[in-house]
Each structure stands twice: as structure tokens, then as C-alpha cells.
Structure 1
């Protein structure tokens, strides 16, 4: 075997490998380009969704805080109303007892009868 035949065999092997690489590149390049485009779109969509999720979380937190403030204000208003109405309830109970002779059961019965229209 001579050097020229070994060199020729190596040259043919190299040309076959180069042809195989070229064919593989021709086949896989469009697939890779399409997949890269989809990856870019997915990454952009994920970024948008993360932004929207963060924004929604902030708004939800604001709503929870506003609801808590309204609840606190309502509780405070109820306490103030109870304090203001305390004297009126006492006066109404005193008048009712006077009308019924001091019997609380009779006073309750009379109020219930009035509510029922009896």
C-alpha cells in the first residue's frame, strides 16, 4: 500500500464526512431556526405574564388594604353609634318599664305584640 492510496482514502473519508455535515446542516438548520423563533416568542410571553402577575399582585394587595381600612372604619362607626345610642336605649327601656309597671317580661311581650300587629 502506497502513501498515495492512503492519502486518497483519507481524502475520500474527509470528503464523505464534510458531505454528511453539509447534509445534516441543511436538514437541521430550518428546524433549529423555527425552534429558536418559538423560544423567543415563549420568553417574551413569559416576561409579559410575569409583569401582569406582579401588577395583579400589587393591585390585589391594594384592594386588601382598602378593604381592611373600610372594615376598621365600619367597626369604629359601630362603636360610636353604640356609644351614642346607649342613652337612647336606656331611656326607651325606662319608658317601656314605666308603661308596663316595671315588668320586663310584659314590656318584651308588648313590644313583640306591637311588631306583630296584634
Structure 2
């Protein structure tokens, strides 16, 4: 090889070495800059996942409790309907007796009995 070729090869190797060193240095600078940001982002991610898991647990528990409340409400509604029907059946003889008394006082006319009840309710 000629001395000019050696010189060109040496310059080329020096350029390649400078490029490799520049890339390594740039990578290190980028890592130093972004590592703290990535650490904070990872911490935030872990916190968000934990919060999400807690909310999922609470939502599931709330759904179960709501279901229990709905079932308890339906049970109370059925029990109230049964109690109302029982009271209606137990009061039937009293209603019949009251109607008989009212008919006797008004002469047996149902319209006159209804009119008397309405007048009594209105305070006339």
C-alpha cells in the first residue's frame, strides 16, 4: 500500500472510532436523563395498578351488597303483602258487621249508607 492509502485508512478508522465513542456517550447521556423519568413512570404504574385492583375489589363487594339489599327488599315486600292480605281477611268480619250496622241505621239503602259515610268524612 502506498503511504496515502495508509493515511486514508487511519483517518477512516479514527472516524469510525469517534462515531462509536459518540454513540456510546450519547447512549449514556440519554440513559442518565431518561432513567429517573422511567423509574417515576414505573412507580406511578405500580401505584395505578394497585389502586385499580382495590377499586375492582370494592366494586365487586358493592355489587354483592347491592344484590343482598335487593333480595332483602323483595323479601320484605312479599312479607308485607302477606301481612296485608292476612289483615284484610281478619278485618273482613268487622267490615261486614260495620256495613250491616250502617244499613240498619239508614234503612238498608246502600246509596244512603255511602252518602252518610261521605258526609261523616267531610264533616257535614
User: Is TM more than 0.5 here?
Assistant: yes
Aligned to 1:86: 92
Report SS of the residue matched to 1:31. Answer: helix
Name the structure 1 match of 2:105: 99
Query: 1:1-16 to 2 correspondence within 5 Å?
Result: 1-2=5-6, 3-16=9-22
Q: 1:65 aligns with which of 71, 89, 93?
A: 71
Q: Which runs of 5+ in 1 are unaligned?
A: none
Structure 2 unaligned blocks of 5 or more: none
Using the TM superposition, give the Cα deviation of residue 91 of structure 1 relative to its aligned residue in structure 2, in angstroms. Answer: 1.6
* Correspondence for 2:118 among 105, 112, 117: 112
| TM-score, normalised by the number of residues in structure 2 | 0.87
Larger Rg over CA atoms: 2
Give secondary structure in 2 for the equivalent of 1:81.
Answer: helix
Q: CA deviation at 1:116?
A: 3.4
CA distance in 2, matches of 1:111, 1:81: 22
TM-score (norm 1): 0.91
Q: Which one is further off, 21-30 or 107-116?
A: 107-116
Equivalent position of 2:36 in the other structure: 30
RMSD: 1.4
Q: CA deviation at 1:25?
A: 0.6
- The CA distance in 2 between the partners of 1:23 and 1:117, in whole Å, is 96
Q: How many residues align?
A: 118
Distance in 2 (alpha carbons) for counterparts of 1:30 and 1:59: 43
Who is 1:56 aligned against? 62
Q: Which residue of the partner structure matches residue 23 of structure 2?
A: 17
